[in-house]
Copies of this chain bind each other. A is one copy, B any other.
Amino acid sequence: MNNNFIGVFDSGLGGLTVVKSLIETMPSENIIYFGDIAHVPYGTRSREQITEYVMQDVSFLQKFSIKAMVIACNTADSIARKRVEESCSVPVFGVVEPAARYAAETTKNNKIGVIATNATVNSGAYKTAIEKYNPHAQVYAVACPLLVPLVEEGRFRRGDEVTERVVAEYLEPLKRAGIDTLVLGCTHYPLLMDIIGDAVPGVNIINSGETAARLVKTELEAKGIENRENPNPVRRYFVNDSKDEFEKHASLFMGRSLETAVEQVEV
């Protein structure tokens, strides 16, 4: 039993879908979250800039007693994973590797789609990781830059005709390619699960936050540093700009209200 925090960071709100999965998978763990909302979005920036911002996120979380670091942002994980590992003495978990592995191992026809930000797609991280676990896999990666703004505007529900149309447009080439598996390679996309599911019926959709949470659980248990009995788990949420918008939208990403007030810090 280990009461230290699982540290989690993202460029903003999206990583809260990963926190949601972590809490569902490991309800007794203490979790500390940092959302770099002063620099959101990461997905359209350069590798150098993303890396610089990620290292600031990591430094902030390292001020706390953490036993694991979770990069809850596909863009950050795709670009800066190695730098995060080099600077951390605790285990580092990303969202790309577990989702890529699960897709690689469960596809039946070896045709896997990945939807993500520009930066994640351009990094090739998913393609590389999927091919490592399944050399026969064909990976079709599509950048979907409008989906994050649509989700952040709250336009993710079935019946929003603009979002349905944009999603259908992005997924068209993947449908044509005949994929049987689709990785949601951005932590905002789980909110679009209904619309995406309607657009590619019969396709197995993988939520990178869920596969990451399962891996974190397995590894913490293997190391004997999990927290099984903790009647009052501590959850803290930090951001580096006005918390109003973050608090307003957080429950959408978490699927429920936050347990505590969001704290605003200078990072």
**Residues of A that sit less than 8 Å from B by CB:** 37-39, 44-49, 145-146, 149-150, 152-153, 161-162, 165-166, 169, 241-242, 244-245
Contact = CB atoms under 8 A, between A and B. Distances in A.
B153 A162 contact: no
A241 B149 contact: no
A241 B146 contact: no
A244 B118 CA distance: 14
Residues of A contacting B: mostly:
helix
A49 B161 CA distance: 33
A39 B37 CA distance: 10
Contact of A242 (B48, B161, B162): B48
A152 to B, nearest CB: 8
Contacts of A150: 146
A241 B145 contact: no
A169 B153 CA distance: 14
A265 to B, nearest CB: 13
A241 B46 contact: yes
Contacts of A47: 242
